[in-house]
Amino acid sequence: MRDAILSFGENILRGAENVRPLNAPFRHIILCGMGGSSVPGEILSMARTDAIVHWNYGLPLDTRMQDLVVCVSWSGNTAETLSGYAAARILGAPVVVITTGGELARRATADGVPAVIIPADAPAPRLGAGRMTGALFALFGMTDALPQVRAADLEAEGERLAQAIGQRVPVFYAGYPLRKIAGFFKAMVNENAKRHAWASNFPSAEHNEIMGWQGAYRDAAIPVIVRGAGDDAYATDFAAFVALLEGMGYTVPTTKVSGNAPLEAALNGYILALWTSYHMAVDLGVDPSDTALIEKFKRLKTQ
């Protein structure tokens, strides 16, 4: 897995190769994808206000024929994404597919739907997110907007965070504009480190959730602050939160995601989440690439 994380930036560029930009007009971009295949859409939504990420079966209730539906599935067999594809075809909305193959590629070929087929050269969708992100941005002619990222430069900070978290359950906090980065940390800790984790954001957290820290959690949970470009308006929120919880005996590690703009922060934030969860897995003695429990759940759904 470490090699796959190190090559993340290069894979973004590879994913954008030989992808022809779309020319058709549209109202909104509806991005259907789950798990690691949702990451490209989440990153795009931090760069475009017309991008909507749909984490569900089917399509959003207000989807119209004027919307462009982008179905992203690493395996091509994700049930929720296939459901979104079918709903788009029934509605008559334009569809484009990003996948390595599977049923989604088969349907796109049969239906004459544009498809970007990428090589299945990553051990898991969350590690193939680089290629899928490159392909997605290329579809919208946004390749030049993608910043260069160097995954190797972020490993030391990920290892530091992993050591600070230890065996406790992390709760990741970001300012509202960067809330999706906090979500990246949660998801990667869940899947790679095999630990529960939670994600929240300011200012919402200070109106109710903050009371939860009054419980006897100092040995079981740890708040982690994730800062980055675009969150200066929340500086006083973070400062007050740190002062409050440190006064209660909590340790509150903080990380600053590198990048001068939200898009660069999103990419670096995702990579940092990969590194943090990878080193947590190593420290905990678990296999970060193992997803047997997810596969078992999927099999039980089909029985």
Backbone angles phi, psi at 239, to 5 degrees: -60, -45
What pLDDT sits at residue 13? 93
Measured CA distances, 178 to 23, 106, 183, 243 (Å): 30, 36, 9, 22
What pLDDT sits at residue 302? 86
Q: pLDDT band for position 220 (50/70/90)?
A: very high
Q: Mean of the pLDDT values across residues 248-257?
A: 95
**3-class state of residue 54 by DSSP:** strand
pTM score, whole prediction: 0.96
Q: What is the mean pLDDT of the chain?
A: 95
List the structure tokens of 99.
Answer: 């996948």
Buried b (16+ CB within 10 A) or exposed e, 68-104: bbbbbbbbbbbebbbbbbbbbeebebbbbbbbbbbbb
Q: What is the pLDDT of residues 129-156, one digit of tens each?
A: 999 999 999 999 999 999 989 999 999 9
Lowest mean pLDDT among 76-80, 166-170, 253-257, 299-303: 299-303
List the structure tokens of 206.
Answer: 């200070």
DSSP annotation of 148 reads P
What pLDDT sits at residue 216? 82
Q: What is the pLDDT of residues 33-78, one digit of tens each?
A: 999 999 999 999 999 999 999 999 999 999 999 999 999 999 999 9
Nearest to 194 by CA among 300, 102, 291: 291
Looking at residue 19, its amino acid is: V
Q: Mean of the pLDDT values across residues 16-40?
A: 95
Cα–Cα dist 266/34, whole Å:
18
Give the domains, in start order, of the chain with CATH numbers. Answer: 2-145 (3.40.50.10490), 151-284 (3.40.50.10490)
Q: Mean of the pLDDT values across residues 175-198?
A: 97
Q: pLDDT over 70 for what percent of the chain?
A: 100
